[in-house]
Structure 1
Amino acid sequence: MSSLTNPSRLMLRNCDELAVSRLLLVMPPSDSVISELGNELSDTEISVFTTVSEAEQIASRNLPADRVAYSYDLSSLKGAYDSIVFYLQKSRPLVEAMMSQLCPRLSENGTLWLVGENGTGIKSWRKKLTKWGAVDSVASGCHSGMLSLQPDDSFRAPASEIKESHFSVEVAGTIIDVATLPGVFSHGRLDVGTRLLLEALSKENVRGQLLDFGCGAGVIGSWFAARHKRCRPTLLDTDAMALESARRTLAANRLEGKVIASHGLNNLKGKYDWIVSNPPFHEGIKTRYDVTEQFLQKCHSHLGKGGQLRIVANNFLKYRPLIEEAFGHCEELARGNGFTIYGATVAKEFQSAEI
Structure 2
Amino acid sequence: MSALTPSSQVLQRHEALFYGKNILVAGDFHDDYVLQLETAATKIHCTLFHLYSQLKKRYSDKLIEFGVMPTDACYENTNTLIYYWPKNKHEAQFQLAYLLNHLAQGTDIFIVGENRSGVKSAETLLTSFGTIQKIDTARRCSLYHFNADSRLAFDIKQWWHQYELQLDKLNIKIDNLPGVFSQRTLDTGSDLLLNALIDNTSLIRGRVLDVGCGCGVLSAVVAKINPSIELICVDVSAVALASTTQTLLTNGIDGEVIASDVFSDINGRFDLIVSNPPFHDGKETDYSAIETLIAQSRAYLAANGKLCIVANSFLPYHRLLAEHFKRVDVIAQTTKFKVYLAN
TM-score normalized by the length of structure 1: 0.90
After superposition, give the CA deviation of every residue in 1:229-286 in whole Å (9 maximum; x if it has no partner). Answer: 2222110100010001111111101110111101121111110000011001223444
1:81 alignment partner, SS class:
coil
After superposition, give the CA deviation of every residue in 1:132-154 in whole Å (9 maximum; x if it has no partner). Answer: 32110111212211111111214
2:157 is the counterpart of 1:159:
no
Which region of structure 1 is more displaced relative to structure 2, 47-56 or 328-337?
328-337
Question: Which residue of 164, 177, 201 maps to 1:181?
Answer: 177
Distance in 2 (CA, whole Å) between partners of 1:337 and 1:18 is 51
Question: Which residue of 101, 106, 111 maps to 2:108?
Answer: 111
Which region of structure 1 is more displaced relative to structure 2, 195-204 or 119-128?
119-128
Question: What is the match of residue 21 of structure 1?
Answer: 21
After superposition, give the CA deviation of every residue in 1:296-355 in whole Å (9 maximum; x if it has no partner). Answer: 11111110110011100111111111111110231111111511111111xxxxxxxxxx
Same amino acid, percent of matched pairs: 28
Structure-2 change in CA distance of 1:124 and 1:229 (3 Å)? closer
Distance in 2 (CA, whole Å) between partners of 1:189 and 1:270 is 33
Distance in 1 (CA, whole Å) between partners of 2:61 and 2:175 is 30
Distance in 2 (CA, whole Å) between partners of 1:340 and 1:65 is 46
Question: What is the match of residue 324 of structure 1?
Answer: 322
| Counterpart contact for 2:308–2:342, Cα < 8 Å | yes
Alignment of 1:83-232 (within 5 A): 83-155=80-152, 159-161=154-156, 163-204=159-200, 205=202, 206-232=204-230
Question: Which residue of 255, 279, 297 maps to 1:299?
Answer: 297
1:245 alignment partner, SS class:
helix
Distance in 2 (CA, whole Å) between partners of 1:342 and 1:87 is 36
2:92 alignment partner, SS class:
helix
1:325 alignment partner, SS class:
helix
Distance in 2 (CA, whole Å) between partners of 1:20 and 1:127 is 30
Amino acid of the structure 2 residue aligned with 1:146: L
Distance in 1 (CA, whole Å) between partners of 2:253 and 2:166 is 16
Alignment of 1:18-57 (within 5 A): 18-37=18-37, 41=38, 43-57=39-53
Amino acid of the structure 1 residue aligned with 2:239: M
After superposition, give the CA deviation of every residue in 1:79-119 in whole Å (9 maximum; x if it has no partner). Answer: 24211111111121111111111113333321211111122
Question: What is the match of residue 351 of structure 1?
Answer: none
Question: What is the match of residue 12 of structure 2?
Answer: 12
Which region of structure 1 is more displaced relative to structure 2, 202-211 or 26-35?
26-35
Amino acid of the structure 1 residue aligned with 2:241: L
1:30 alignment partner, SS class:
coil
| Counterpart contact for 1:79–1:105, Cα < 8 Å | no
Structure-2 change in CA distance of 1:20 and 1:160 (3 Å)? farther
CA RMSD of aligned residues (A): 1.8
2:231 alignment partner, SS class:
strand
2:105 alignment partner, SS class:
strand
Distance in 2 (CA, whole Å) between partners of 1:341 and 1:252 is 28
Structure-2 change in CA distance of 1:29 and 1:286 (3 Å)? farther
Amino acid of the structure 2 residue aligned with 1:21: K
2:292 is the counterpart of 1:260:
no
2:218 alignment partner, SS class:
helix
Structure-2 change in CA distance of 1:326 and 1:173 (3 Å)? same
| Counterpart contact for 1:46–1:67, Cα < 8 Å | yes
Distance in 1 (CA, whole Å) between partners of 2:20 and 2:178 is 31
2:99 is the counterpart of 1:74:
no
Question: What is the match of residue 349 of structure 1?
Answer: none
Distance in 1 (CA, whole Å) between partners of 2:318 and 2:70 is 40
Distance in 1 (CA, whole Å) between partners of 2:51 and 2:134 is 27
Distance in 2 (CA, whole Å) between partners of 1:84 and 1:285 is 24
Amino acid of the structure 1 residue aligned with 2:252: R
Amino acid of the structure 2 residue aligned with 1:164: W
Distance in 2 (CA, whole Å) between partners of 1:238 and 1:131 is 34
Structure-2 change in CA distance of 1:282 and 1:132 (3 Å)? farther
Q: Give the gaps of 5 or more residues in structure 2.
A: none
2:222 alignment partner, SS class:
helix
Distance in 1 (CA, whole Å) between partners of 2:23 and 2:313 is 44
| Counterpart contact for 2:27–2:47, Cα < 8 Å | yes
TM-score normalized by the length of structure 2: 0.93
1:185 alignment partner, SS class:
coil
Distance in 1 (CA, whole Å) between partners of 2:115 and 2:75 is 32
The Cα of 1:36 is off from its aligned counterpart by: 2.7
The Cα of 1:126 is off from its aligned counterpart by: 2.4
Distance in 2 (CA, whole Å) between partners of 1:61 and 1:342 is 36
